[in-house]
Amino acid sequence: MSVDATRWAWLASPSKSSELLVLLSMADRAGEDHTCWPSVARLVKDTKLNEKTVNTALKGLVVQGLIRDTGKRVGSTGRVKVYRLIGVLGRDEQSGNSGNLPQSENANTPNNGGIHSGDEIAPNTGEISNTPKNGILPILPCNTPDIGGTKYPQNRGSEPITLEPIIEPNTSLGSPSANAPPKPKRACSYPNDFSVDQGMVDWLNEKGVSTPWPLETEKFANYHIAKGSTFKDWKAAWRGWMLNSMKYSVPAQSTAPAKNVRQGVNDELNNINDTDW
């Protein structure tokens, strides 16, 4: 591969795009002496052109003086033509270190079609400047805010760079979980850790519930455990139980000893036998 030949092929500007593709493929396979011998099948594979178009392009490049058939033939069949690229500058010629050597007929000059008349030449290297005037690769302006783009330069041949807007979360309203309504409680069976706290005892005193709450709490637990009851709020269920306990409580019986019935009968009999009346 010859870098000089590839650079020259880009600047050669053949008349047709198909000729440029063929010339680039040949330059990519050229040696230091700027000769190459790719077969037509290879050129078809490199350029994706059909065989007829490749042959036509080769003839056009010969007519334009960009390539020349050396007359040599290579390959297993001995029929592959060896071409020479016309007008390729060597390293010394490009850097301007050739001194006073006479120009050959293949030198890259306006007469030979290598450098076009009016091309701007870089003073330091002697090469054709990469400017829009020379028609090479124009320098594209950076895609900056001044020209309506982003602050990053856009690479040639890549997809356009797009920046998605960054949406900051709104923290002024708090987290979504904090603002969300509380989830409703689910009904559950009698909790094993249920106990009467001081607040519940104060509520009993406030409501005037006089039934003994330890006993009623035990009844409350046994009843609902046996029944398999479920409540969302067991303390509320307990309060309802304690209020109802006032309705169904049995009045306390008198602790005075009952009068002996037999003794009463005997007293009556004694009164009958009393003859003093």
Q: What is the pLDDT of residues 46-97, one digit of tens each?
A: 999 999 999 999 999 999 999 999 999 998 888 999 999 998 876 555 555 4
> What is the total residue count of the chain?
277
Count up the domains in the chain and report the number: 2
Q: What is the pLDDT of residue 219?
A: 93
Say how far apart CA 276 and CA 98 lie, in whole Å. Answer: 177
User: Strands across the sheet with 80-85, in order?
Assistant: 35-36, 80-85, 67-74
Q: Which residues of the chain have pLDDT under 70?
A: 1, 90-165, 168-179, 250-277
- 9-29 pLDDT tens trace: 888 888 899 999 999 999 998
Distance between CA 150 and CA 143 in Å, rounded?
A: 6
Domain presence at residue 145? no
Residue 85, H or E segment: strand 80-85
* Residue numbers of the domain that contains 46: 1-98+105-138
* pTM value surpassing 0.75: no
Residue 48 lies in a domain: yes
Please report which helix (H) or strand (E) contains residue 264, including its range: helix 261-273
Residues contacting 89, CB < 8 A, separation 6+: 4, 8, 107, 108, 114
Same domain, yes or no: 125 and 233: no
Sign of CA dihedral 4, 9, 88, 70: positive
Judge whether 120 lies within some domain.
Answer: yes
The answer to whether residues 8 and 87 belong to one domain is yes
**Residue 19: what pLDDT?**
92
Please give the Cα distance from 43 to 37 (Å, whole number): 10
